[in-house]
Chain A
Amino acid sequence: MKTNFLKLSLLALVIFTASCSSDDDKNTTPPVVVTTKVSDLPAPQTGGGQAGPASGEFTKFSFSENKIVTTDKWDIAFRGTVIIVNGGAKYNAADTGEPARTGSGSVSIVSGAFASVTAFPAASTFAQDAASAYAFPASGANAWYDYNGLTHVISAKAGKVFVVKTHDGKYAKFEILSYYKGAPANPDPSKTEDTRFYTFNFAYQANSTTTF
Chain B
Amino acid sequence: MKIKITLFALFFFFQISFAQEIQKDSISANELSEVTVTTATRTERVVSSLPFPVTIITSEAIIKSGVTRLNEILNEQTGIILIPDESGFEGIQMQGLDAAYTMILIDGVPLVGRTSGVLDLSRVSVGNIERIEIVKGASSALYGSEAMGGVINVITKKPTGDMFSGSLSYRYATFNTNDVNANVLWKKKKFGANLFTNFYSSDGYDLDKSTSLKNVEGYYNTTIQPKLYYDFSENLKLIVSNRFFNQKADNVAEIESEIYIGEAKENEWNSQIKLEHKWNSKVYSEYELYTTNYKNDSFLKDESNVLFEQAYYDQWLFRPEIRTTFSIKNDKLTTGVGLNYETLDRTYFDSNVNFNSQYVFVQYDYNPSGKLNILAGFRYDNHSEYASQFSPKLAVNYKFNNNFSLKSSIGYGYKAPDFRQLFFDFTNPSVGYTVLGYNVAEDRLNEFEEQDQLLSRVAGISFEKPLEAESSINFNFGGFYKKNKLKIDVNAFYNLIDNLIDTQAVAQKINGQNIFSYTNFDKIFTYGVEFNSTYSFTKEFVVSLGYQYLIAKDKSVLDNFGEHQYIRNSQLQTVEISKSDYFGLYNRSKHTANIKFAYTIPKIKTDINLRVFYRSKYGMFDTNNNNILDKYDKFVNDYFLTNLSISKYITDKLLLQSGANNLFDYKEPTQIPNLAGRQLFARIQYNF
Measured between beta carbons, the chain B residues less than 8 angstroms from A146 are 625, 627
Bound state CA distance, A201 and B196, in angstroms?
70
> Using an 8 Å CB-CB cutoff, how does the interface string of B434-464 with A read, 1 for contact, 0 for none?
0000000000000000000000000000000
Inter-chain contact A157/B572, CB cutoff 8 Å: no
Which of A16-24, A83-91, A175-183 has 4 or more CB atoms under 8 Å from chain B? Answer: A175-183
Any A CB within 8 A of the CB of B626: yes
Any B CB within 8 A of the CB of A131: no
Partner of A111, one of B508, B566, B575, B627: B566
Contact A150 B574, CB 8 Å, known A49-B512, A113-B566, A158-B567: no
Partner of A113, one of B432, B572, B575: B575
Bound state CA distance, A150 and B621, in angstroms?
9
Inter-chain contact A185/B574, CB cutoff 8 Å: no
Shortest distance from the beta carbon of A190 to any chain B beta carbon, whole Å: 12
Inter-chain contact A158/B566, CB cutoff 8 Å: yes
Shortest distance from the beta carbon of B211 to any chain A beta carbon, whole Å: 15
Q: How many A-B residue pairs have CB under 8 A?
A: 48
> Using an 8 Å CB-CB cutoff, how does the interface string of A153-173 with B read, 1 for contact, 0 for none?
001111110000000000000
Any B CB within 8 A of the CB of A114: yes
Inter-chain contact B572/A185, CB cutoff 8 Å: yes
Measured between beta carbons, the chain A residues less than 8 angstroms from B562 are 111
Chain A interface size, as a band, is: 20 to 34
Any B CB within 8 A of the CB of A34: no
B621-654 contacts to A (CB < 8 Å): 621, 624-627
Inter-chain contact A185/B625, CB cutoff 8 Å: no
Bound state CA distance, A150 and B87, in angstroms?
11
B491-528 contacts to A (CB < 8 Å): 508, 511-512
Contact A159 B566, CB 8 Å, known A146-B625, A150-B621, A185-B572: yes
Any A CB within 8 A of the CB of B563: yes
Any B CB within 8 A of the CB of A27: no
Chain B interface size, as a band, is: 20 to 34
Shortest distance from the beta carbon of A100 to any chain B beta carbon, whole Å: 24
Shortest distance from the beta carbon of B430 to any chain A beta carbon, whole Å: 10
Contact A158 B575, CB 8 Å, known A111-B562, A148-B625, A185-B570: yes
Inter-chain contact A155/B625, CB cutoff 8 Å: yes
For A159, give the chain B residue with the smallest CB separation: B566
Any B CB within 8 A of the CB of A15: no
Any A CB within 8 A of the CB of B565: yes
Any B CB within 8 A of the CB of A141: yes
Contact A114 B625, CB 8 Å, known A158-B566, A159-B565: no
Bound state CA distance, A185 and B624, in angstroms?
10
Partner of B574, one of A139, A159, A183: A159
Any B CB within 8 A of the CB of A50: yes
For B455, give the chain A residue with the smallest CB separation: A132
Shortest distance from the beta carbon of B431 to any chain A beta carbon, whole Å: 8
Measured between beta carbons, the chain A residues less than 8 angstroms from B573 are 114, 177
Contact A158 B626, CB 8 Å, known A175-B574, A185-B570: yes
Report the 9 A-B pairs with minimum CB-CB distance, sorted nearest first: A159-B566, A158-B566, A177-B572, A155-B625, A158-B574, A158-B568, A113-B574, A158-B567, A159-B574
